[in-house]
Structure 1
Amino acid sequence: MSLTEEQRELRDAVRSFLTERPGAPWSRFAAELGVAGLAVPEEYGGAGCGTAEVAVVCEELGRALSPYPYLSTVVLAAEAIKAAGDPSAMARLLPGIADGSVTATVLFPDDADLTLSDGKLTGTARYALDAEVVLAFVDGELVEAVPSSRTPHAPLDQTRPLA
């Protein structure tokens, strides 16, 4: 796939940031480059771009072996929120994702034993990435989960952060 001029500029900006500021916090990466809001609709504070621009950022993050929560927050959670189509959830969650002030993750049915009864989510998720917002697919519905406890898993390489 050949990149447009704008996509090449995006790639170069992300590559430069990751090279020059490898230890910068997620909020700074997201805010300075605006990459967390690339695929978020403009009415929720995003840029309204498509998957091609998101893929450019993903490729550069992979190239640098970056621990930023881009995949879980921007690719999985933001897309799940948009796909669920709940206007109040989009208005509440997407602006924080777009400006980088919120990280998010999604639990999938294969990795969790969850039930939804009377509006209360119960059960256990074997694996959940660390994030301020945890979403779960339960009975075909996307719901917010409030973890009661977490057991962190250590990476194999203790010198590299895990995201």
Structure 2
Amino acid sequence: MCRNEDSAMIGRVASLFWCIWNNRNDKIWNDNIQSPSQVGNMAFVVWNEWFTVHQLQRASGVTAIGLCFRDTNGHFVAGLTQWQQPSYSIVEGEALSLLHAMKEAIHRGFERVQFESDSKLLVDAIHSRRRSNSEFSLIVNDIILLMSSS
């Protein structure tokens, strides 16, 4: 299917799969389930929001970064949003967000901080500690240096 479809169609299908998976998890963990039409409508909304945001960002030539800090109970403590130029790839943006979060935690004097990322590629790159000269690898190297200095 992917070979014969454009990226918009693939994105819509991926959004549908994500919404089906999310509905399944909501049933298992919260005993809450949506009808198939509700799941389909949610997939449509998710895709349109994602597409709109990414079209605006691509046209503007900037990368948006957002992060938040929570306490041990999961309550919001602080947040930060920032626009970066130039426009970075998604994985570079993920790495840049983590680097900024680490610097912000140090600046605020936070101790014993656990950082999370939904980017497996970023987490694997940090754990592998392989060096490279790509923009992504340079950001990961800065993250590793910050981790080792704390």
Interval of TM-score (by shorter of Structure 1 and Structure 2): 0.3 to 0.5
Richer in helix (by share): 2
Report the TM-score when normalising by structure 1.
Answer: 0.31
Richer in strand (by share): 1
